[in-house]
Each structure stands twice: as structure tokens, then as C-alpha cells.
Amino acid sequence: MLEPYRHNIGHRHLEVGPGSGWYLAHADFSDGPAQITLMDLNPTPLAFTARRLRKAGHAVDEVVGSVLDPVPAAAGTGYDSIGINFVMHCIPGNFTEKGVAFQHLSRVLTAEGVLFGSTILGRGRTPRTLFGRFLTTAYSRAGAFNNSDDDRDDLETALTTVFEEHTLTDVGDVTLFTGRRPRQLT
């Protein structure tokens, strides 16, 4: 999972749903400290990750918000990169509904910027290992996973609706995606 960060992260970066911030803390910011905005529904991971990244010398802003709504004005615009990893499978609905998140996020990217993310699709997929099957069942019952209607075609449609260029790559049970050249900016 560090590879997409190493490959895509830019100087001005928006991270949606940062969790503990492990990926950002281990990403390679080869141009030195970055300007990072963290956005999440929940202020607890924002505060934890912000503290971690500030210790590493980055300038960090925290914004409470949902990707199902337009990005709050407090986050500003002009992001070189946006990371949204292991967030979409937590959000209720299928990609026809929750794909609106890409629309909202694309509006704060630069024309040359990249959105990169990962998710676990539920429809038409069975986790490859017994442990994966156990975790998926347990997380779904607990309400942490909402991916039973998430399929690859709807994800691809959601990306192509918003971006002129996209990639989709399966790695084990995880689907990695990128979107570039937001349509409303070109």
C-alpha cells in the first residue's frame, strides 16, 4: 500500500479518512515537508494523525466533513494529490450513489492532480482466504463494511464520469484506483 503513496503523493495533499495516518507517516515526501489536509467524519483520527505528521515537520490542517458532501470551504482547493484509501467500502450505498464522492473531490484537485485510492469490492467477490472471509463477515455485521453492492463496473463508471483518465488494478482482495484530468477542469 505504500507504493501508491510513493508514486502519487504531491506537495499539497488532501487525505480523506486518514485512520491512524500510518501510510502518510511512512510515505516518501522526497521534496521535503508537505502541506497536508486531513478530512474525516470523525475528529479523533484527524487529531491523532495531525499530531503524528506535525512531529515529522509537515504543515497539517484538519477538516471535519463527509465525502458525500462538497468538500468544506475550509479545506481550500488546488490539491496536487488526494488519497482516499479503504474509505469507500465503509460508506453505505453502491458506487452509483457514493461515487458522487469523486465528483466532490475532483473539484479541489488541480488540472494536473491525481486522486488515488483503494477499496474492497463486495459484489461478485469472495475473499481469497478463510481469514478474509471471517473479517468481511464480522466487519459487515458490525456495520464497518458497507460493500455488498460495490462492483467493479460501477466503480469504473463513477471514475470515468469524473476523470478523463483512470486506472483500476486488483491486488489480492483490494482494488486500487486512480483518476486524473478532472473533466470539469479540462
Ligand X SMILES: C[S@@+](CC[C@H](N)C(=O)[O-])C[C@H]1O[C@@H](n2cnc3c(N)ncnc32)[C@H](O)[C@@H]1O
- Residues in contact with ligand X by the rule CB under 6 A: 16-19, 40-42, 45, 66-68, 85-87, 90-91
Residue 160 CB, nearest distance to ligand X (Å)? Answer: 22
Contact indicator for 132, 76 with CB cutoff of 8 Å: no
Rg (CA), the chain: 16
**Residue number with CB closer to ligand X (40 or 150):** 40
**Residue number with CB closer to ligand X (2 or 185):** 2
**Residue number with CB closer to ligand X (90 or 135):** 90
Quote the CA–CA distance of 23 and 65 in Å, as a whole number: 21
Residue 186 CB, nearest distance to ligand X (Å)? Answer: 26
> What would the grid cell of residue 135 be?
473479517
Quote the CA–CA distance of 86 and 41 in Å, as a whole number: 14
Q: Would you give the distance in Å from CA 126 to the centre of its chain? A: 22
Residue 22 CB, nearest distance to ligand X (Å)? Answer: 6
Instruction: Tell me the pairing of strands 109-119 and 174-182.
Output: antiparallel
Residue 47 CB, nearest distance to ligand X (Å)? Answer: 12
**Residue number with CB closer to ligand X (22 or 165):** 22
